[in-house]
Each structure stands twice: as structure tokens, then as C-alpha cells.
Structure 1
Amino acid sequence: MSLVRYTNRVVTLWYRPPELLLGDRNYGPPVDLWGAGCIMAEMWTRSPIMQGNTEQQQLTLISQLCGSIIPELWPGVESLELYTKMEMPRGQKRKVKERLKPYVKDPYACDLLDKLLVLDPSKRYDS
């Protein structure tokens, strides 16, 4: 099976996962899982959870919620085309559950959102 290189601008900016923002063109279901997590969180909070105006700002908002995008947490991220071209916030801690807990009362639902909004697409919840 050969991989098709798709565009990395396939998803609306607010729901675009970090791998697309960093230029990945070989992607699959994890892109949709990220978007589903963003939309589910929006349903609970009644507002989009990351409202960037640019790709750079969106990456910053993702880092502030999901932690710094670093190779230690996401092996291979440094090989993505835009990783060295974008400003990557350092020292950010993951705060998904902490931020969403006031809106998402069910701990299983909060846990699901936490598993959908994982930076590394290979570790994003899929079953």
C-alpha cells in the first residue's frame, strides 16, 4: 500500500491537530480523533477550546493546553517539515483534565478528552 501525500490544511484551524500544523502530509484517523476531542470539549464548554488566528498561535494554544511539543514526549516530531520553522513554546505542562474538569463533570468523559487530545498521533486514543 502506498501512502498518498495529502495537504496539511484539510481541517479548520481551531480543530487542526499539531501534526498538520507542523506540516505532516501522511496522516490518517488520528487527525479526526483530535478534531472530535476539540468538538466534544466545545460542547461542554460552549466555546471552542483553542481559538488561534494563525497556525503559530494555534500551536501555542495547543502547547498551553496539551504540554510542550518536544521529541521526548513525541518521538519523531523533530522530523516534521515545520518543526524547526515554528516557535515551539517550552516548559508547558499538560493541563487538559485540569482545564476541562470544571465543565466536564463525568470523570470518564474528562479522561476520554484527555486521551483524544494527545500530541503524538500514534498515542492518540482510537478504540
Structure 2
Amino acid sequence: MEKNILLIMVILLEEIQSKPVVCAQLFLWNILDLLRYPHELLCVMDTPSIAMLWIRYTLWIPLYILTAAIEGFTIYQVLLHVEPTAANSSPLKSTLSTQIHLPFLLMVYLPFLALGATVTVWQLLKERHHQLGKWNKKMKMK
């Protein structure tokens, strides 16, 4: 969900597309996918590698934290751009005919981003402990 929100913001605001933080965000998303999918492919083929397992469940965590931080910074950059224009223009109209300000929505989203990233990192740490523990038990039995 977080990727979709950020991509919509970047697509809608051409001024944000040229920011270096957007390039860094897209680069990190691709690195995360490059760490995840080869491991998943090896598991589907029943040829898991301990190196890929370790990379997937260890290196992925700090990269995810960095990605979430850069996403927050990107939203901050969007806020800096949208805030002056929101003061001069009328609020966005929603389908319920209520008045919603985009800067307010983005400010509300930032704590949810932090909370979601925290829960995700906690889950990743639990999954890492489980997967590496399972691998260690498997290796001791051999």
C-alpha cells in the first residue's frame, strides 16, 4: 500500500519526479526485490542456499528501514511542495462532498508509515529468527 501511495504522489506532482530522493527510493525498492525474489525462486525449486537465506532475512531488514525512512522524507518533500499551493487553491473535493486538504492527509499518513514500518520490521525479525533457526536445526541433523 505504501508503494502505491508514494507512486501516485510522484506521478501526480511533476516537480517531485526530478528530486534525487525519488531516484533513491526507486533504487532501494528494486534492491529489496532483488534480495527477495531469487531466494523465493530457489525455495520453489527446492534448492535453497544458506547464503541467499541469510541475505534475504538479514540484509533485507536494514534496507527496509532505510527505504521507509526515505519514503517519509519523500512525503516531507511533497508536503513542502503542496503546502504553498494548498493555501492558494481550494481544497480537494471528495466523492462524499467533504473538504479534504492533501497536506493534512500526508501529515496523518506519516505516523501510520512509521507504525507500519515498525510492525513490519518486528515481523521480519521474527521471520528471520524462525527461518535461520529452522536452517540451523536442519544442518545439525545432517
Alignment TM-score > 0.5, same fold: no
Larger Rg belongs to: 2
Structure with larger RCO (C-alpha < 8 A, sep 6+):
1
TM-score of the two chains, using structure 1 as the length reference: 0.32
TM-score (norm 2): 0.30
Structure (1/2) with the larger helix percentage: 2
